Each structure stands twice: as C-alpha cells, then as structure tokens.
Amino acid sequence: MTTLRSIRPNPQAAVPETAMVMAAGLGKRMRPLTAMRPKPLVEVAGKPLIDHVFDRLRAAGVQRAVVNVHYLADAMEAHLRHRVKGIDIAVSDERGRLLETGGGLVQARELIGDKPFVCVNSDNLWVDGPIDSIRLLSALWDDATMDALLLLVPLAQAQSHGGQGDFHLDALGRITGRRKPGRLAPFVFTGVQILSPRVIADWPEGAFSTNLFWNRAIEAGRAFGAVHQGLWFDVGTPAAIPYTEAVLADG
C-alpha cells in the first residue's frame, strides 16, 4: 500500500495549536434529521457528530478551534458555548452567506492565524488505529515541501461511502491526481487535513470549494496524503447512522 514511508516522521513534531472545523453546511443529504437542527448536531453513538470531532482534537492536543456557522447558526453557537469544554472556540459567522469550504477558509483566515492548522469536516467520524491520526499528520508534516497533507482512507475501507475514490498517490505519498471520469481512485478524503495558510491566496469572490486550493497544491507538487490506519465512516445520510453505530458497538 502506498504510504509516506519515504518521508521520515518527526515523533517530536508539535500538533498545530489551531483547528478549523467546517460546520456551516445545509445538511441536505441528512434530511429530515436536519429540518430542525444543523447536521453537526445530529447524534451518532450517543453524541452529536461535532462532539466526536472535538474528542479527537482534544486527544491530539489541539488547543483552539475556529468553527464556521451558517445554517441554524444560533443552535450551533449555543452548543459550542454550553456543551463544548476543554478547547477554546472562536466562531466564524457566515449567517449572511454560505461560503462553502474554500470561502469559509477565506472568511476565517484572520482567526486561523499564520501557522499550519488542522482542518476537519464536522460530519465524519473516525476511530484511530495504532496511532492518533492527527498526531500522525503532524509527525509527517514538512512545511518546506507541503502546503496540504490530507488524511486518506483506502476506497475499499471507506464505510458507508458511495463514491468512487478521490485521489492517486505516488510512492512518496505525493498526490499525483484526482479520479478520472468512469474510473476508480484508490483513496478517499476523510475530511481531516493539515493546511498551510499559504494556500489561502488569490481567491475568487463569494462561495467556492477548497478544491481550488488543493488543485494548486497538486499542480505544484506540494499536496500529500497519509493513509488512515483506523476506521472511518461517511455519516452523510440517515441510513448511515445505524450502520455506523452497529460497527462501533461491535468494538
């Protein structure tokens, strides 16, 4: 299996202090559960999806999180204020306009700061394998050669995921390209990554996807992937919830 074995991990590497947590989406695929609550507050295995994310961030040693809000933003802010402990929270307010993932990074750039940061989608759930996945990314991060380091899972191990894969890697773990139409790609993006603030540059006005920043990093040879060694669930629809809970219950 292609990994980043050719890049020597730094076991003393510090985990980024800051994470960007993407929590502003409309959650259309999760309807009707999102009719009255934002998708990150849908419960899976006894707690809201976003709380699973905060568990992983705290365990890795992340100290603060920037969380963007749009859909049912008052409910999201109330949850962050009253239910989230042990990590400092800053809110990036997108009430006026949904900006998608790339626009969300632009909106939050001053809150994120000028150091590499963890970026996590709030609607996925993962279980670490032999090593904490955020710590793995941190140990592999090389600021001199990387602008983006994505946590990827093999397509065959992407639980409840209906896609056909996202990326191809070379022997160094460099992302060499995306899935081509009508073909499969061996790795799926988990929604977890480390980014350099350098990627947030020359952006278009309004809403756009992080794909713009990824594509530039791929073209420059500065986008890499690390293979997740644990479980990962694409909890994107109501049907995925009981499946995810059953797998987790089996231990």
pLDDT at 181: 87
Q: How confident is the model at residue 8 (pLDDT cuts 50, 70, 90)?
A: low
pLDDT tens per residue across span 175-218 = 998 988 888 888 999 999 999 999 999 999 999 999 999 999 99
Average pLDDT, whole number, for the chain? 91
Asked which of 5-14, 71-80, 157-166, 237-246 is least confident by mean pLDDT, the reply is: 5-14
For tokens 């933003």, name the residue.
73
Per the CB < 8 A criterion, the answer to whether 123 and 242 are in contact is: no
Q: Count the neighbouring beta carbons within 10 Å of the beta carbon of residue 45.
A: 16
Q: Fill in the amino acid letter for 81.
A: R
Would you say residue 2 has pLDDT above 60? no
Per the CB < 8 A criterion, the answer to whether 218 and 175 are in contact is: yes
Would you say residue 116 has pLDDT above 70? yes
Q: Count the neighbouring beta carbons within 10 Å of the beta carbon of residue 149.
A: 29
pLDDT tens per residue across span 24-74 = 999 888 999 899 999 999 999 999 999 999 999 999 999 999 999 999 999
Strand ranges in 47-116 using DSSP code E only, listed in sequence order: 47-48, 64-69, 88-93
Euclidean distance between CA atoms 13 and 3, whole angstroms: 19
pTM: 0.92
The 3 state secondary structure assigned to 175-232 is: EEEECCCCCCCCEEEEEEEEECHHHCCCCCCCCCCCHHHHHHHHHCCCEEEEECCCEE
Give every CB contact of residue 217 below 8 A, 6+ residues apart in sequence.
Answer: 147, 148, 175, 199, 223
Residue 201, phi then psi, degrees to nearest 5: -150, 150
**Which two three-digit tokens encode residue 50?**
């976003």
Q: How confident is the model at residue 9 (pLDDT cuts 50, 70, 90)?
A: low
Strand partners, 65: 19, 89
pLDDT at 88: 95
